Amino acid sequence: MSFVHPYADPVVVAGQGTLGLELLADAPDLSDVVASIGGGGMIGGVAVAVHTLRPNARIWGVEPEGANVMQQALAAGKVLPPIVPTSRITTLAPPAVSELTLQLAQEHLSDLLTFSDANAFKELDWLLDQAHVLVEPAAAICLSAVRKLRERFMPDGHVVIILCGAGITREEYTMMREAV
């Protein structure tokens, strides 16, 4: 058996980059992509693919406050020792980023925003109430970024938000929501 790292393996990152190609196939004139960051592999792969074909597109990252390992690494300019994440958004709570994903973030991110877990669940509730979809909290947190970045988007821009499918059951959601 071989260990394949979930976000620090170049082949995994390249595979995740195919999402960027799919985004461009559906929205060739996209101007902005907003995506959550865990270890940074998905957003790194997406950013490389998008910037290869649309170099002026902006890539915005989002992390929960209790697991802002990419923000900390970007501020330090290096990969930092692992932390113990406090975020309840476990799919966005790796203990550290990798050299590869930090480099991709440094090269491709327009900005990185952080929000509280409570904010993510507020957005998840909005998505449930307004769009009738259950996404994972890691994806819902992107709506907070879009609301905050609204003034920075171009009037004729095309903003794409990556909203991942629900990685939780309704029961898990209820328990997580009650804890926030």
Please name each of the domains of the chain with its CATH number: 10-179 (3.40.50.1100)
Phi/psi of residue 159, nearest 5 degrees? -95, 130
Q: In this predicted structure, what is the pLDDT of residue 173?
A: 72
Report the Cα 142 to chain-centroid distance in Å.
7
Rounded Cα gap, residues 169 and 47, in angstroms: 30
Phi/psi of residue 86, nearest 5 degrees? -110, -5
- Selection from 50, 49, 35 nearest residue 92 by Cα: 35
User: Which of helix, strand or coil describes residue 112?
Assistant: strand
- What are the pLDDT tens digits along the chain (180 aa)? 888 888 899 999 999 999 999 999 999 999 999 999 989 999 999 999 999 999 999 999 999 999 999 999 999 999 999 999 999 888 788 999 999 999 999 999 999 999 999 999 899 889 988 988 888 888 899 999 999 999 999 999 999 999 976 666 777 777 777 777
Q: In this predicted structure, what is the pLDDT of residue 174?
A: 76
Q: In this predicted structure, what is the pLDDT of residue 5?
A: 87
